[in-house]
Chain A
Amino acid sequence: DAGITQSPRHKVTETGTPVTLRCHQTENHRYMYWYRQDPGHGLRLIHYSYGVKDTDKGEVSDGYSVSRSKTEDFLLTLESATSSQTSVYFCAISESFVGSAEAFFGQGTRLTVV
């Protein structure tokens, strides 16, 4: 695997609580992405980053925020978790724009909101 570490790998949280997921890379890649995977939907882009402090929304960004203060770390925050955010979350990295470079995926974080 490329040097991507997601933490935590599993989390159970209560509705209404804030949750932060971390993606850490050691590849010095410029682009970082957060996807969620749900049965019947494949993977859908939540947010992405194209540099330190440069982020933008993806297809399913409502209820999520992100931050990237260092090249190696990309944080995904659920400000007030809801049951619809129960999912498997994947971080991905790529050296350049995804249409011209391979994207590498982390192992995923399984989040359950009860």
Chain B
Amino acid sequence: GEDVEQSLFLSVREGDSSVINCTYTDSSSTYLYWYKQEPGAGLQLLTYIFSNMDMKQDQRLTVLLNKKDKHLSLRIADTQTGDSAIYFCAESIGPALIFGKGTTLSVSS
């Protein structure tokens, strides 16, 4: 089956950088995504990267893609308490988005 793997928990201090890692399965995935879910809410698209890119930067967010290793990472610079949430990596396969189980980011002040 298709599995997108993520570490389950990450704890950082306010002001530090956070790096959330993900490995995906389908080398033909066109887009790879990062979604954020706050408690009791739906999923919010944070950013995505096209498969022919190595890196994408958007304000405090940096996405790195290593296609050879099928590895995707999300770096959040200057992490704030408001960044505490669950972060999901997803790849597009056919008509579906295949999600990882999510990484819970806890930010302490």
By a beta-carbon cutoff of 8 Å, the part of chain A in contact with chain B is 1, 31, 33, 40-45, 48, 50, 56, 58-59, 90, 92, 97-100, 102-108
Would you call B42 and A42 a contact (CB within 8 A)? no
Q: Determine whether the beta carbon of A100 is less than 8 Å from that of B102.
A: no
Number of interface residues of B (CB under 8 A): 23
A104 near B88 with CB under 8 A, answer no
A107 and B42 within 8 A (CB)? yes
Assembly CA distance A59 to B99 (angstroms): 12
30 A/B residue pairs, CB under 8 Å, sorted by A: A1-B42, A31-B95, A40-B101, A42-B4, A42-B88, A42-B102, A43-B97, A43-B99, A45-B96, A45-B97, A48-B95, A48-B96, A56-B95, A58-B96, A59-B96, A90-B43, A92-B43, A92-B97, A98-B92, A98-B97, A99-B29, A99-B94, A100-B30, A103-B45, A104-B45, A105-B35, A105-B42, A106-B42, A107-B41, A107-B42
Q: Which residues of B in the span 1-45 have a Cβ within 8 Å of any Cβ on A?
A: 4, 29-31, 35, 41-45
